[in-house]
A and B are shown apart, each in its own frame.
Chain A
Amino acid sequence: MFKRVLVANRGEIALRVVRACRELGIESIAVYSEADVDSMHVQLADEAVCIGPGPSKKSYLMPDRIIAAAEITGAEAIHPGYGFLSENARFAKICAASGFTFIGPSAEIIAMMGDKATARATAIAHGVPVTPGSPIMRDPETALAAAKQIGFPIMIKATAGGGGRGMRPCFNEADFINLFYAASNEALVAFGNGECYLEKLVINPHHVEFQVFGDAHGNFVHLWERDCSMQRRNQKIIEECPSPLVTPELRARMGDASVQLIRAINYQNAGTIEYLVDSTTQEFYFMEMNTRIQVEHPITEEVMGCELIKEQISVAAGKPLSHHVYKSSPRGHAIECRITAEDPYNNFTPSPGTIDLWYAPGGKGVRVDTHVYSGYTVPPYYDSLIAKLIVTGSTREIAVARMKRALGEFMIRGIKTTIPFQQEIIAHPDFAAGTYDIGWVARFIEERKI
Chain B
Amino acid sequence: MDIKDIRNIVELMNEHGLTLLDLSHKDFHIKLKKGPDLDDLRSLMACMPATVAAPVAAPLPSTGAPDGVPAVPSAPAAPVGTEITSPMVGTFYSKTSPDAPALVNVGDAISVGQTLCIIEAMKVMNEIKAECSGILSAVVAEDGAPVQFGDVLFRVK
Contacts and interface: CB of A to CB of B under 8 A. Distances in A.
B150 A72 contact: no
A62 B113 CA distance: 24
Contacts of B148: 49-51, 69, 72
Contacts of A52: 149
Contacts of B123: 98
A68 B150 contact: no
Contacts of B91: 71-72
B121 A50 contact: no
A67 B121 CA distance: 8
Interface residues of A, number: 17
B89 A69 contact: yes
B146 A65 contact: no
A147 B90 CA distance: 60
B88 interface: yes
B150 A64 contact: no
Contact of B149 (A51, A67, A73, A98): A51
A72 B122 CA distance: 10
Most buried by A among B89, B146, B148: B89
Nearest to A49: B148
A34 interface: yes
A67 B91 CA distance: 12
A98 B122 contact: yes
A67 B90 CA distance: 9
Interface string A71-100: 111000000000000000000001000100
A46 B55 CA distance: 21
Interface string B86-130: 001111000000000000000000000000000001110000000
B89 A49 contact: yes
Nearest to A31: B89
Nearest to B121: A68
A65 B89 contact: yes
A72 B146 CA distance: 6
Contacts of A65: 88-89, 121, 149
A51 to B, nearest CB: 5
Contacts of A69: 89, 148
By secondary structure, the A interface counts as helix
A50 B88 CA distance: 9
Given A49-B89, A51-B89, A65-B88, A71 B150 contact: no
A37 to B, nearest CB: 8
Contacts of A59: 149
Contacts of B151: 50
Nearest to B56: A37
A64 B122 CA distance: 7
A401 to B, nearest CB: 43
A113 B150 CA distance: 37
Nearest to A33: B149
Nearest to B123: A98
Contacts of A64: 88, 121-122
A72 B90 contact: yes
Contacts of B146: 49, 72-73
Contacts of A73: 146
Interface in A33-57: 34, 49-53
Interface in B31-71: none
Interface in B126-157: 146-151
A65 B91 CA distance: 12
A50 B122 contact: no
B149 A71 contact: no
Contacts of B149: 34, 49-53, 59, 65
B150 A50 contact: yes
B31 to A, nearest CB: 39
Nearest to A68: B121
Nearest to B119: A68
A72 B120 CA distance: 10
A124 to B, nearest CB: 39
A49 B148 CA distance: 6
Contact of B90 (A34, A53, A68, A98): A68
Nearest to A73: B146
Contacts of A49: 89, 146, 148-149
B89 A34 contact: no
A71 B88 CA distance: 13
Contacts of A71: 90-91, 121-122
Nearest to B92: A72
A53 B88 CA distance: 11
A282 to B, nearest CB: 51
B69 to A, nearest CB: 34
Most buried by A among B90, B123, B148, B151: B148
**The 10 residue pairs across chains A and B that have the minimum distance between CB atoms:** A72-B146, A68-B121, A68-B89, A50-B148, A49-B148, A68-B90, A50-B149, A65-B89, A52-B149, A69-B89
Given A49-B146, A50-B150, 7 more contacts: A49-B89, A49-B148, A51-B148, A68-B121, A72-B91, A72-B147, A98-B122
5 contacts: A51-B148, A64-B88, A65-B149, A69-B148, A98-B122
